[in-house]
């Protein structure tokens, strides 16, 4: 098997699974229980939280575990809007967000909030002047992802934060960091809130993280009992928390070394695939090397993906594409509907090998060229 869809999800690493199993077998108590089994579980949970807060240099109480980044994004956007209804009803997002952000925005407009979409330049960088102009006294939140999920465009969060602070010091700043964690270094002090997900960094599916600076007040979306976290009541999923902590510690190691290695692989893929007839490369100078995106002029992305699957090779498309919809990111970059309707995404990891890349390129060229010729004959 050659798996090149790491931005969709990653396999759970062996060490992470080990920590999940150990916490499941040896820590059966509910961390909310008063007895010794509960205390034992709670101690383990607190040390897992401490490991995470140390990694990001934040307070333990600033971390909330969620079911994934979708839930974290909901907490940030909906929670902030509900808490600040009296001060304003305006939020700003970029045109390069994950679909979950747009779905939340759609919902927020149905309950009286107004959403503005900040422009970006041709390479995907947020248009600072446009952001400045769009921030108003009633703007309560700006949400901009650290790394875009389709083309891997990286945004300068620190600079964006400075602009927001200057225009309206009351406006909060959230960043969806789901595709950034484990690929680039992030600083949670550049934002007020952030979203992450374990399954993108060789952790288990079903757990995410929501960071919120302690100064920020939001309304909880979930109400219930359990004293561990006011934003996420209920029994904490201890094995998932322990496994996530392990995955994060492993993901944040050697980022520069890993990136240099991944860049060599991605440069090779880029140069080989860009040469093929009917393929347009969608990378920009701000794309990180882990995520490669191409548009196909004749072959349908889903046809290519299923043809490669026959050889046990797995790459991605954007979820919208499969249903014939448009990739909002490609549209925001190139303003070309055709190009935005036919994208494929190849996402690499530091565990990808040169041999996998070479074999992938051999199969890809053969399969793609055959399909492209078939389209010519039609």
Binding map of ligand PMP across residues 198-237, x = CB under 6 A, - = no contact: ----------x-----------------------------
* Sole binder of ligand PMP in the list 10, 19, 41, 70 (CB under 6 A): 70
Q: What is the per-residue DSSP string for 110-132?
A: HTT-EEEEE-B-TTS-B-HHHHH
Nearer to ligand PMP, 93 or 307 (CB): 93
Q: Restricting to residues 249-308, name those near ligand PMP by CB under 6 A.
A: none
Site size with ligand PMP, rule: CB under 6 A: 12
Terminal CA-CA length for the chain: 32
For 90, the 3-state DSSP assignment is: strand
* Sole binder of ligand PMP in the list 90, 98, 212, 246 (CB under 6 A): 98
Q: Measured from the CB of residue 140, what is the shortest distance to ligand PMP in angstroms?
A: 21
- The piece of 65-73, 181-189, 211-219, 263-271 that touches ligand PMP (CB under 6 A) is 65-73
CA–CA dist 20, 290 (Å, integer): 27
Chain residue at closest Cβ approach to ligand PMP: 68
Task: Mention every residue, 6+ apart, whose C-beta is less than 8 A from residue 166.
Answer: 132
Query: Is 197 an interacting residue with respect to ligand PMP (CB under 6 A)?
Result: yes
Contact 111, 133 (CB under 8 A): no
List residues bridging with 194 in a β-sheet. 175, 211
For 92, the 3-state DSSP assignment is: strand
CA–CA dist 35, 95 (Å, integer): 50
Q: How far is CA 212 from CA 169, 195, 294, in A?
A: 17, 9, 35
Binding map of ligand PMP across residues 127-166, x = CB under 6 A, - = no contact: ------------------x---x-----------------
CA–CA dist 198, 73 (Å, integer): 14
Q: Is 145 a catalytic residue?
A: no
Q: Measured from the CB of residue 98, what is the shortest distance to ligand PMP in angstroms?
A: 3
* Sole binder of ligand PMP in the list 89, 100, 266, 347 (CB under 6 A): 100
CA–CA dist 294, 317 (Å, integer): 9
Nearer to ligand PMP, 101 or 164 (CB): 101
Active site (catalytic) residues: 321
| Contact positions vs ligand PMP (CB under 6 A) | 68-70, 98, 100, 145, 149, 176, 178-179, 197, 208
């Amino acid at each position: 098997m050659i798996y090149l869809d790491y931005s969709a999800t990653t396999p759970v690493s062996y060490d992470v699974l080990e920590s999940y199993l150990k916490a499941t077998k040896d820590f059966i108590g509910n961390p909310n229980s008063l007895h010794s089994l509960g205390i034992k579980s709670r101690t383990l949970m607190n040390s897992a939280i401490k490991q995470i807060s140390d990694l990001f240099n934040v307070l333990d109480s600033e971390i909330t575990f969620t079911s994934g980044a979708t839930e974290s994004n909901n907490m940030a956007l909906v929670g902030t809007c509900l808490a600040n209804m009296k001060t304003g009803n305006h939020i700003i997002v970029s045109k390069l967000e994950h679909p979950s952000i747009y779905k939340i925005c759609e919902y927020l407009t149905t309950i009286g909030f107004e959403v503005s979409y900040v422009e970006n330049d041709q390479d995907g960088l947020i248009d600072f002047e446009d952001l400045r102009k769009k921030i108003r006294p009633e703007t309560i939140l700006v949400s901009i992802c650290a790394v875009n999920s389709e083309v891997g465009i990286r945004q300068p969060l620190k600079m964006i934060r400075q602009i927001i602070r200057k225009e309206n010091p009351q406006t909060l700043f959230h960043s969806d960091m789901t595709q950034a964690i484990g690929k680039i270094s992030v600083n949670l002090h550049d934002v007020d809130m952030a979203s992450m997900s374990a399954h993108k960094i060789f952790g288990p599916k079903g757990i995410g993280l929501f960071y919120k600076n302690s100064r920020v007040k939001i309304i909880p979306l979930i109400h219930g009992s359990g004293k561990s976290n006011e934003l996420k009541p209920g029994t904490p999923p201890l094995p998932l928390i322990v496994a996530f902590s392990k995955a994060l510690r492993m993901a944040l190691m050697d980022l520069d070394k890993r990136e240099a290695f991944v860049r060599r692989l991605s440069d090779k893929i880029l140069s080989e695939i860009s040469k093929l007839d009917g393929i347009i490369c969608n990378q920009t100078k701000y794309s990180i090397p882990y995520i490669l995106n191409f548009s196909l002029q004749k072959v349908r992305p889903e046809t290519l993906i299923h043809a490669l699957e026959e050889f046990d090779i797995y790459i991605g498309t954007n979820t919208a594409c499969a249903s014939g919809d448009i990739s909002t990111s490609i549209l925001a970059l190139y303003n070309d509907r055709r190009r935005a309707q036919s994208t494929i995404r190849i996402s690499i990891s530091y565990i990808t090998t040169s041999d996998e890349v070479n074999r992938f390129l051999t199969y890809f060229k053969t399969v793609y060229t055959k399909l492209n010729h078939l389209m010519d004959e039609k």
